[in-house]
Every structure is written in C-alpha cells, then in structure tokens.
Amino acid sequence: MIEPFFKVTQGSPYAIRFIKFAIFRLYSNLLAQFLIKKGVIVYTGSNAGNFQYQQPPSIGKNKDKFNAISSIFNLVIKVIDNLSIFNRKSIILAIYNSKFTMLKYRIADAKFHIVIYPGLLPEIPKVIFNEKEDIIITISRIDPDKSLENLLEIIPNGDENHYIIGYLADKQYAEFLQKNLKNSHFIFNATDKQRNDLLRRAKILIHPAMYEAAGIVFMEAMSYGVIPIAHNSGGAPEIVPKQYLYDSLAEAREKIKKYLSEYNETHFNELRREASRFLISKFHESIESAFTECFIKN
C-alpha cells in the first residue's frame, strides 16, 4: 500500500511528501487502534511503515532537519502503537500474512490465530504465452535492506536480458549496483505501464532477498506466468512452488539457466492458476470467514 501512495508524488517537494506520508501513516495507525479495541490484531512482518525506508534518495540542505523530524515522528507512532497494545482488554483474533509471520510474531494470549495471505489481484491479467521472451526481472525497492548485492553472484556483471525495476530509495546503493551489474538495465520509479510490460514479456523473476514475510511480488509475477526464483526462507515456501526455491546463490544461478531454456506453456498456465489463490475476492472471503468464525459463531 505504501509504494503506490508515493508513485503519484515522485516530483513533489520533499516536505510535501513527508506531510502526505505522515497523514497516511497516522490514518493507518488509527485503523490499527480501532481493530485492537475490537479484539483484532494484524501482523504483516513488514518494515514498510517505517518512514526511514520511504525517504527520497536525496534531500539536499534539509537532510538533517527532515531526518530529525522523521525520527521524532516514528517515535511518536511507536509510542501510540505500544499504548494501544498494552491498553487492550483482550485479543480475540490475531491475523498474520504468512505462517512464517505467525511463528515470528505469535500473540500468546489471542484466542484465534489465522493466516490470511494478501489479496493482491483484482483479476488474473490477460497475457498470452507467445508474448514471452528470454527476459529476467527483479522487482524491488532499491535499498540495501533488499539484498540486491546478491545479484552480483547470481548474475555476474549483469545480463542484457536482466531488468531491475523499483522505487529508488538509496541513490548511492543504486550507483553501486549499476557499476557492478554493467549489463543489466535499471528502471527506477517505473510506471505501471513499464512494470506490467516487463511482466508480460518476462519468463523469470529473480528475488535475491531472504526471509520475505509474504512476498507480494511472487504473487504478481505468477499471475503473469513468470517463474519466481526465490530464496527458500520466510514466507516464500508458502507461496512459490518448491521447484523454484533456492538455498544458495549458486543454485539460484543454475535455476535461472535451467528454466530460461525449459520454460513452456505448461509453466505459464500452472503459474497463473496458482496465482488465482491470491485474488482480492478470495481475500475478502477469507476475512469474512475469519470474522464470522471468531466473533459470530463463538
């Protein structure tokens, strides 16, 4: 939810971005407090709500001032969050976005624990197999937190068919990647059209980060018939078919080579069927079922 919010404000002054994010973050916090008061707590295992991950790559002479403001802002939000949790009467339902998140953040005193995977897709996009090319993509926020430097071992020097697209969060890190992945293409702050066009044509998504809580990008890739090569950790094994998981960077490199050459219409169709688990309609059904089971029947 965070990145699309910023997508329409890339050209805005930093101060305007900060104010808009503050309003958005406070709104999200109020919603969380409302749920807590109703006996519901939601864990996503994500740090995306922390403002430090959402700062533009350069803010010039105002850098120190805004860093100080954002630190204070985060502290206030953290205090409010903690007060909300400590002042709750009791938690009836704890919702997690993956089994991995549930194991990591399990609420001991919750009566019910339910895993509901994110509902990302309004529908499975209309794509045809014949549009596929030998394209490898990486979709990620450009930030050290995402371990993109692992690509240096997975795709040494980059590849002319490899595209890295995502929100530019750290300019210095981006320059390091560009220097060392000379043959790869970088599209920073890509438009929806650019992103969807690459997904439509790509065969492989390589995801270098480990311990992703849910990995929404895997769901999106599969909906386009793209094979997600992901690390066998976090929530990835719950979403990605096991044959596409890797345990080492060398194995990731081999799987890219293997599936680029073997990719066929069966892969394409099976991935798109698998992605149908993550339709928004099914997400709504899961939420409704959870609330019915926990608050009406009990």
The CATH number of the domain covering residues in 129-277: 3.40.50.2000
Do the beta carbons of residue 59 and residue 66 sit within 8 Å? yes
pLDDT along the chain (298 residues), means of 10: 40 56 58 64 52 39 54 58 54 85 83 85 92 97 93 89 94 95 94 93 97 88 97 94 97 97 97 94 88 76
Distance CA(31)–CA(24), nearest Å, equals: 11
Q: How far apart are the first and last CA of the chain?
A: 32
Do the beta carbons of residue 222 and residue 274 sit within 8 Å? yes
Whole-number pLDDT of residue 19: 60
Whole-number pLDDT of residue 53: 34
Dump strand ranges (E) for 167-274: 185-188, 204-207, 227-231, 245-246
Domain locations along the chain: 2-120+280-296, 129-277
Whole-number pLDDT of residue 7: 42
Q: Is 139 helix (H, G, I), strand (E, B) or coil?
A: strand
- Residue 2 in tokens: 């965070």
Do the beta carbons of residue 163 and residue 205 sit within 8 Å? no
Distance CA(233)–CA(84), nearest Å, equals: 31
Whole-number pLDDT of residue 202: 98
Whole-number pLDDT of residue 13: 56
Whole-number pLDDT of residue 216: 87
- Residue 243 in tokens: 């044959």
